[in-house]
Structure 1
Amino acid sequence: MSVTVYFSSVSGSREVKQHQSEIFQFLDSKKIKYRTLDITSSTDVKEEMRKKVGNPSAMPPQVFNGDKYCGDYQKFFDAVEDGKAETFFKL
């Protein structure tokens, strides 16, 4: 299984950039391999992310492990606060 993070390289929001960066830093610090999919690279990628999440207006970052949806930034943040980040990433 591999962790995939849908993100936006062209985010108008500083908050979104910050959230993405926190997820990447966490994964890097734990030496967890992951791949990124930039939703601004193609509308297909954005549509794919929203379809997989089940929300037509979902915004990045959105995290998956294989085909399993892990959650968005808020779920990640809550899991880290609870000391359950590994559970969030379904590791």
Structure 2
Amino acid sequence: MGGVKYYYTSGHNNMEIVKQQRKMEVILVSKEIEFQKIDISASEDVKAKMREIADDPKALPPQLTNDETYCGDFAAFEEAVENDAFEEFINC
């Protein structure tokens, strides 16, 4: 499946990650972006794929890709939203 992929985890106790995931998802929905939710807690292979795409062996969710092209993590996402550069970010 192509398009925007939203990597998140349903099994994390870190409240900062939970807040980031919620904010990212709310913004994607509010901007009417269709995206595929991919839960990295479902499989080590999925987590490894997310980290490979992010080119960071320690990457944590949330992360976004467009097809297999890495868009960025929460910090990059938030910066793009704040700087009115969301379209460029999501069409990475």
**TM-score normalised per structure 2:** 0.94
Residues 1:18 and 2:19 are matched in the alignment: yes
Q: Which residue matches 1:86?
A: 87
Amino acid across the alignment from 1:3: V
Q: Aligned partners of 2:57 and 2:68: how far apart in 1?
A: 18
Q: Which residue matches 2:36?
A: 35
Q: Which residue matches 2:55?
A: 54
Q: Which runs of 4+ in 1 moved over 3 A?
A: none
Q: Aligned partners of 1:52 and 1:68: how far apart in 2?
A: 7
**TM-score normalised per structure 1:** 0.95
Shift of 1:68: 1.0
The DSSP-based 3-state class of the residue aligned with 1:25 is helix
Shift of 1:65: 0.5
Q: Aligned partners of 2:47 and 2:62: how far apart in 1?
A: 11
Q: Aligned partners of 1:56 and 1:30: how far apart in 2?
A: 30
Shift of 1:67: 1.4
Q: Aligned partners of 1:69 and 1:4: how far apart in 2?
A: 9
Shift of 1:85: 1.0
Q: Aligned partners of 1:32 and 1:79: how far apart in 2?
A: 15
